[in-house]
A and B are shown apart, each in its own frame.
Chain A
Amino acid sequence: MANVISNVALVPGIYVMKIEGKFKGNMGQFYMLRSGTGYPLLPRPISIYDIGEESISFLYRVVGEGTNLFSQLQPGQEIQLEGPFGNGFPQVEGSLALIGGGMGTAPLLLAAKYYPHAHVYLGFAQQAFGVEAFEAVAASVQVKVGGSIVEQIDPTLYANMFSCGPTPMLQALAIKTVDTSSRLYISTERHMACGIGACLGCTMRTRGGNRRVCKEGPVFPVEEVEFDDLHGV
């Protein structure tokens, strides 16, 4: 258990929660968070948004009962969290683009801090949020509200790309990257129960066989991803 330091809505329904303590974690990894003692039972996997010396932050959207409970937490209240879990984004060399769509921007902030030379592309369906955090650390940030951010990206400019967001956005990016030498890594999502690879509830079909999103993922090289399986969930 740890204490909430702050829990602030950036825009309606989207919050950043800061939790007190010394926490480990790399870009693209996640924690399992749970508040309350009854329903919902299962912790929720939430990407690490930011880590400080004495705190960890999570960007989340209220989508159901679990995240609704999170949004009601006040400073000083306790939350249960375990992690970090998952593989996270790889260490890469050369030019890098970070491409996030909506809540998919959350796991990219740590990458932007780690790679200050990276170009950041953020796409939002209706309303931008959290852009200032990227602008504070990144060399370049492009934002698009409505439409597709993928249209603004030239994969040939980048040796590597990290991306997270809605499946159609990821697939459009994948198609655009075909026949380029750019290496695309995407962060995937699945409902999870254990978060540590034991229950096989988050298994995803990939070109290399079944993979646990919580353990072998959530980040996969695009050539391993079967988009039909991602769309199906």
Chain B
Amino acid sequence: MISMACNIAGVPFKNPIIMASGTFGFGREYAEFYSPELLGGIVGKGLTLHPKAGNTGSRIHETASGMLNSVGLENPGVAAFLKDELDDMTHWNTAVIANVGGSNLEEYVQAVAMITENAQKRRTMNRRGVDMLELNISCPNVKQGGMQFGIQTEVAREVVRQVRNVTALPLVVKLSPNAENITQMAVMCEEEGADGVSLINTFSAMKIDIRRRRSVFANTYAGLSGPAIKPIALRMVHQVAQAVSIPVIGMGGISSVEDIIEFTMAGAAAIQVGTYNFVHLHAGAELVHGLEQWMQREKVQSLDEIRGIL
């Protein structure tokens, strides 16, 4: 009897396939095509304390084996998320992860405190709340905040420390490949009490419209994701997994069952799927079924048998 189940920081996942922030909305849109209950978990759209309109102009550009995005954290804000989205998300029997960003330290802390308080209140009413937090210190697409916290380890330390002080919810920190030293960053997260790290977010990148002689994006740079970044993501997950003892959630261009196996062998406790959701509308369901079939075919009872074997 095979089992795809895994546990990260006390949160049970029925399988290791989690939909990445910003690629799955809050689940509602994809629920019209397949049940989110098939999935291990869903990371909601990146939240900030206050609503954010996001960037103007072009937000998407396709590249060789990847895509650039400059959405700029458009989101309804934490209060609207808790009021309008969370009931639907927790209605599905899958782990709910809130991704939280901020323009400054206070915003991070307030946003996390609000979500934590909400989860506690819901628990007293026997209702599910957010199961886990993913701290976004790595969004490259907003002028203020986001990635500035994710580049320097000692700057990031303060965010992780202060957020850790206001929440008992399982806390995963999403790391940027643009960090000066991603391994040091992960070690710092562990030192400051994070329950896990997820990596990698998008690479800061660029596309120039040579006819108009300007960047395609109003914000000049954008975030590169997709299969193009997978080999680098895999290397970073491998390095980080060897440096920390907390779980590592791997992501970056995962587009097949073979990719999931690679990340698992590199040490990932679970994985996130992002850009591939756009390539195939049913990507999540396809990967869950595909992973199960692979495990049966290869006679792998549990992914623990292959996790971190490199």
Interface residues in chain A, defined as those with a beta carbon under 8 Å from any beta carbon in chain B: 32, 34, 38-43, 66, 80, 82, 191-203, 205, 209-210, 215, 229, 232-233
Q: Are the CB atoms of B60 and A196 closer together than 8 Å?
A: no
With A and B bound together, what is the CA distance between A41 and B256 in angstroms?
13
CB closest residue in chain B, given A196: B29
Q: Are the CB atoms of A210 and B58 closer together than 8 Å?
A: no
B180 is an interface residue with CB less than 8 A from chain A: no
Among A192, A210, A215, which residue has its beta carbon within 8 angstroms of that of B54?
A210
Q: Are the CB atoms of A42 and B58 closer together than 8 Å?
A: no
1/0 contact string of B218-238 vs chain A (CB within 8 Å): 100000001100000000000
CB closest residue in chain B, given A205: B56
With A and B bound together, what is the CA distance between A32 and B279 in angstroms?
10
Query: In the complex, what's the smallest C-beta–C-beta distance from B101 to chain A, in angstroms?
Result: 14
A-B pairs with beta carbons under 8 Å apart, 15 shown: A41-B62, A191-B60, A193-B67, A193-B278, A194-B29, A194-B278, A196-B30, A196-B281, A198-B29, A199-B23, A199-B25, A199-B60, A200-B54, A202-B60, A205-B53
Known: A193-B275, A194-B29. 13 other contacts (CB 8 A): A32-B281, A34-B279, A38-B65, A41-B226, A43-B279, A80-B280, A192-B60, A194-B23, A198-B23, A199-B69, A199-B277, A201-B69, A203-B74
Q: Are the CB atoms of A233 and B278 closer together than 8 Å?
A: no
With A and B bound together, what is the CA distance between A66 and B64 in angstroms?
12
Q: Are the CB atoms of A199 and B53 closer together than 8 Å?
A: no
Query: Which residues of A have CB within 8 Å of B30?
Result: 196, 198
Those 4 A-B pairs whose CB atoms lie nearest each other, nearest first? A198-B25, A201-B60, A193-B278, A198-B29
Q: Are the CB atoms of A232 and B60 closer together than 8 Å?
A: no
With A and B bound together, what is the CA distance between A196 and B24 in angstroms?
10
Query: Which residues of B have CB within 8 Å of A42?
Result: 62, 67, 278-279
Query: Which residues of B have CB within 8 Å of A38?
Result: 65
CB closest residue in chain B, given A233: B58
Q: Are the CB atoms of B279 and A198 closer together than 8 Å?
A: no
Query: Which residues of A have CB within 8 Å of B33?
Result: 196
B66 is an interface residue with CB less than 8 A from chain A: yes
With A and B bound together, what is the CA distance between A195 and B56 in angstroms?
19
